[in-house]
Amino acid sequence: MNVCHVLSEDPDLAECIAPELRAGAVAHCVARTIRMPRGRWNVPGPEGLRDGIGLLVLEGLLLRRVGIDGRFGAELLGVGDLLRPWQSDDARTTLALTTGWKVLEPVRLALLDEAAARRFADYPQLTGRLVDRALERSRNLTINMAIVHQARVHVRLHMLLWHLADRWGRVRSEGIWLPLALTHTVLADLVAARRPTVTTALTELSRQGLVISAGDGWLLSGEPPGELLELRAFDADTPAPRAAATA
């Protein structure tokens, strides 16, 4: 198991530290790391983690699936997300839930265990920044819920891909490039639809020139769907689209 300087690998966290203290904080805030290959992820036990902060994604892409009676919803997680997967597994519910994790792109995680939490406690500003991460994940889930309530699957997909582009998209001359190799099965989970229906919907979006599959990602043309713009306007706390940077 390796060790990393968390604030060096996640500069957004370092920015909350005063410039004159930042170098010391980067050197001080270290944590163990683990790597996970593609495929089903058997979540590690919370030994040493239960009283810590959680798992911080440094690299890669994860899918969390939750199912009830054979119907699944899903959440896409990537760099910067904070996870406590054992917490949801320990929760008691009256519904019979099926949960699972899948690594879509090889993942590296920082183990923010009790020892790391003690180091982070020397810089209280980090607590607020990590809470921001958790709340941003909650806001994204709310938008996802609104998206899956759209009646037409091709509208759901169009909105979802633009929503993902806020975080992962890159501006190109021909449109917004979304460098996520998401299969039709994964997209079906994300928009709460059947895979064949998703394939048909993507074909329709491609015919309209709105979404083009390029093997290792998606090219989005035109403007975001009006419904998604309304959702962004309603959620005043939603961060500005990260797609503003050029590739």
Question: Tens-of-pLDDT digits for all 247 residues of the chain?
Answer: 699 999 999 999 999 999 999 999 999 999 999 999 999 988 766 566 778 899 999 999 999 988 776 677 889 999 999 998 887 655 566 656 677 899 999 999 999 999 999 999 999 999 999 999 999 988 888 888 889 989 899 999 999 999 999 999 999 988 999 999 999 999 999 999 999 999 999 999 999 999 999 878 999 998 888 766 565 555 544 444 444 343 4
Do 200 and 191 touch, CB atoms closer than 8 A?
no
Domain match, 129 and 178 both: no
Cβ within 8 Å of residue 61, ≥6 positions away: 76, 77, 78, 103, 104, 105, 107, 180
Report the domain count for the chain. Answer: 2
User: 110-121 burial string, b = 16+ CB within 10 Å, else e?
Assistant: bbbbeebbebbe
The CA distance from 107 to 120, in Å, is 23
Domain assignment of residue 144, yes or no: no
Domain match, 133 and 167 both: no
Domain match, 36 and 66 both: yes
* CATH code of the domain in which 86 resides: 2.60.120.10
Domain match, 126 and 187 both: no
Domain span at residue 28?
Answer: 2-137
Domain match, 96 and 55 both: yes
Domain match, 114 and 20 both: yes
Q: Which of 137, 159, 192 is the last residue of a domain?
A: 137
Helix (H) or strand (E) holding 199: helix 195-207
Domain assignment of residue 177, yes or no: yes
Tokens in use for 179? 């460098």
Q: Which of 73, 104, 137 is the last residue of a domain?
A: 137
Domain assignment of residue 30, yes or no: yes
R_g (Cα) of the chain, nearest Å: 19
Phi-psi region of 138 (alpha: psi -120 to 50; beta: other; left: phi over 0): alpha
12: closest CA among 146, 133, 180, 161? 133
What CA–CA distances, in Å, run from 23 to 19, 84, 175? Answer: 8, 28, 39
